[in-house]
Amino acid sequence: MIKIGMMIGDRYEVLEKIGTGGMSDVYKAKDHKLNRFVAMKVLKQEFSENENFVSKFRVEAQAAAGLMHSNIVNVYDVGEENGIYYIVMELVEGITLKKYIEKKARLSYKEAVSIAIQVSMGIEAAHNNHIIHRDIKPQNIIISKDGKVKVTDFGIAKAATSNTITSNVMGSVHYTSPEQARGGYSDEKSDIYSLGITMFEMLTGRVPFNGETTVAIAIKHIQEEMPSPAEFVAEIPGSVESIVLKCCQKSPDRRYQSIQELIADLKQSLMNPDENFVVQNDPDMEGGTRMISDGDMAQIKRRAAYQEYEEPDTMRLRSESEDYYENPEDMDDGDEYDYNPKMERVTTLLAVFGGIAVCVIVIFLAVRVFGNMNRDRDDNKGNQFVTDDSDASGSGESEGEYIPMPDIVGRTMEEALNILLGADLSPQRKYEESDTEPIGVVMRAVDENGAEVNAGDMILKGATITITASAGPSGIEIPPVVDLPFEVAQERLQDLGFTVIKVEGYSEDVAEGRVVSQVPEASTKAPAGANITLTVSLGKQTNMVQVPNLMGMSEAAGRQALSEHGLNVGDVRYEYSQHEAGLIFYQSFSARTYVEAGTAVDIRISQGPEPTNTPKPATYRCNVSIDAPTKDEDPEYVPGTPVEVKVVTDDGKVLQEFTETSFPKTVNYYNLTASGGTITLTYTVEVESTVSGSEQGKTTETRTITRKVDFEKE
């Protein structure tokens, strides 16, 4: 049972519940090892008790953990503790594509295509690692506050299809492919079909097939003609319409054969939306819409019956599905696919030869086009393909792939960001006051050298493009917040009406919790409500390792354990104690805490009880958890401020001195002669300062807090 505040895996602190789904609940948690916030997806109890499901879930989740891509909600960790199965993922602040569509009713074709490109890139990364999503739908696509599109729930769908049957296929029936609805084999082209349905919904604000029951909708995916999105929104360009229809062909062989092909056509549609460049395979009997066979109907019926009787606690089919069948006992199994094998082989051969012919033509045209471009470069040294130090022969030419600059001038900042991200470019935001352009509309774009780039200009793939949008006639000046604590910076910006987006990263120079950089820059002007991205320091990047439990080990075993964990042996002492002679009874860092690799751990080895003829002085132990200054102690203390901590015994022995920004901090010492001591916290705060005859300003003030600590008698 998950409870707020509990610690999982000696690492993840559960903070709050942020979502729930059919199979799992999602919590916001803090990773204390890497000091960052994460999303933790925890399997519901009814799934955790199914050993077969858990086994497949673990395998698929571990495979998903190997995926790292900017358009995927990355999986950091997978684990189990006391029957709790969990996946730790990247925490993305934003909304699902489903909510975004509902909010806007429908999206413009340019925004829909830009989102589809980013989704496709995430799917491409998975397919390249032989992972099929099997549950692509707007609910599994997240748009972050800075416009980045990310696909989530990789790995879970495959585990679900094997055991819960309809929790995936029937539960997401509006987006399922015909082969999934039949219960047949699904592959990469099933994801392409589901993405096509998702694009249809982005463009029209509705799904193509609907019905009173999940079975009825599944049958429509198999049997009914796919409607064109242009039937609902006439202004959708022809190329976009063709892309959606090709993705949603009934036969997988007539869809895009790879996600890379789809990405290429999507990018082309942004630049030439009205061109007829989408290649449709020749229609054949297998590709056309056909009536559902008895075998297909029996298969869907068996799937519905399995869930109805075998899994009553999972997502159930509605009982009205009985209306679609006269008598289940009258059905035989039938063949799952009713097709002509000879015709299939002929079609496949024709498709292969056709593909080869197309490739030859494309290569020939590419040689002609790029050959002319090479000659143009030699004749014109001012061309963008040539670097500043290139000579007359054309040497010094920049390496890498060049792409045409998309047309973003006149679009909103949000649309421009999505288009540039979809074109594999790195956008940066700026605002500028304008009396003529509407607020938020892009006025121009410049490259990394400050040169203006226009639509169609050839630019290096991955280049940084700074887009300048209108702040209106009277924008708000952005204050400088670099090096301020994040909470302070956030409050200042929000007070001015800006929206703050937090991004975390390591920094060698800026203290943990303080702002490293801000975009747009300080002293520029932006309209109210504009996004201000703050990069916040996580401190210096360290290689943290877990301290093993050495208590009760022999000295040799303790030394070996420290070495295996990447730690060093510090001060070793041999002292009388009530513990068994020869065994470790003290370690300077608590077991299962995290310290930097290479840290020296002090240990003490027992010599057994002290001889009885020698008076034994009383000894004490110091086991305390040091917290940051509280509001009662100092209401002006800002979390994340570096604090110098000093622990001293009453007889003057300094136990520990260190500087810390993240609390609590545990201190453990044994065999002390003093019965108590003090903890001193020293830090600085910003305060208002008024100097006589001058304006009020800010100054720093050093403050000290002293706490009395009583030690426990050993």
Q: Is 135 a catalytic residue?
A: yes
* HSE-CB of 248 using CA atoms within 13 angstroms: 30
Residue with tokens 């990355």: 74
**How far apart are the C-alpha atoms of 703 and 681, rounded to whole Å?**
8
Of 153, 173, 154, nearest to 165 (Cα)?
Answer: 173
H or E element: which one contains 573? Answer: strand 568-575
**How far apart are the C-alpha atoms of 714 and 709, rounded to whole Å?**
16
Of 555, 570, 510, nearest to 535 (Cα)?
Answer: 510
Yes or no: say if 442 and 430 are a contact pair by the CB < 8 Å rule: no
Yes or no: say if 301 and 331 are a contact pair by the CB < 8 Å rule: yes
Yes or no: say if 71 and 151 are a contact pair by the CB < 8 Å rule: yes
DSSP 210: -
Yes or no: say if 328 and 304 are a contact pair by the CB < 8 Å rule: no
Instruction: Name the burial class of residue 219, with classes exposed (0-12), middle (13-18) and buried (19+) by CB atoms within 10 angstroms of its CB.
Output: buried
Yes or no: say if 436 and 463 are a contact pair by the CB < 8 Å rule: no
What proportions of the chain, in percent to the nearest 5, are helix, strand and coil? 30, 25, 40
Preceding omega of 664 cis (within 30 degrees of 0):
yes
Residue with tokens 């392409």: 192
**How far apart are the C-alpha atoms of 77 and 70, rounded to whole Å?**
17
Yes or no: say if 567 and 574 are a contact pair by the CB < 8 Å rule: no
**How far apart are the C-alpha atoms of 69 and 154, rounded to whole Å?**
12
Of 209, 214, 215, 213, nearest to 328 (Cα)?
Answer: 215
Residue with tokens 């198999």: 222
Phi first, then psi, for residue 78 (nearest 5°) are -135, 135
List the helix and strand counts (H, then E) for the chain. 15, 31
Provide the Cα torsion 477, 483, 488, 491; round to 10°.
Answer: 30
Catalytic residue among 10, 25, 31, 135: 135
Give catalytic residues, as residue numbers.
Answer: 135
